[in-house]
Structure 1
Amino acid sequence: MPNGIEYLLCEKGQCWEFTGKLDKDGYPRIKVFGKSYRLNRVVLAHKLKREIQPGYLACHSCDNPACLNPDHLWEGTNRQNIIDAISKGRVVAPAQFFNQQGSKNRSAKLTESMVVEIRELYKQGSSTKELAERFKVSRKAIQGAIFGRYWSHVDGAIAQNMKSGSRNPSSKLTENQVIEIRSLYHQGYSGKLLAKTYGVSDTLIYSILNRKVWTHV
Structure 2
Amino acid sequence: MKKFNKTEQRWIKPLPERVINKIAAGEVIERPAAVVKELVENAIDAGSDMIEIEIEKSGAKLIKIVDNGCGIPEDQIEIAFSRHATSKIRNFDDLNALHSYGFRGEALPSVASISRLRMVSRAQNASTGIELIIEGGVLQSKQPIAAPFGTTIEVENLFYNTPARRKFLKAESTETRHISRNAMGMALSRHDIGFQFKSNGKLIFSTAKDLTLKER
Normalising by the smaller structure, the TM-score range is under 0.3
Q: TM-score scaled to structure 1, two decimals?
A: 0.26
Flag the structure with higher helix content: 1
Q: TM-score scaled to structure 2, two decimals?
A: 0.26
Flag the structure with higher strand content: 2
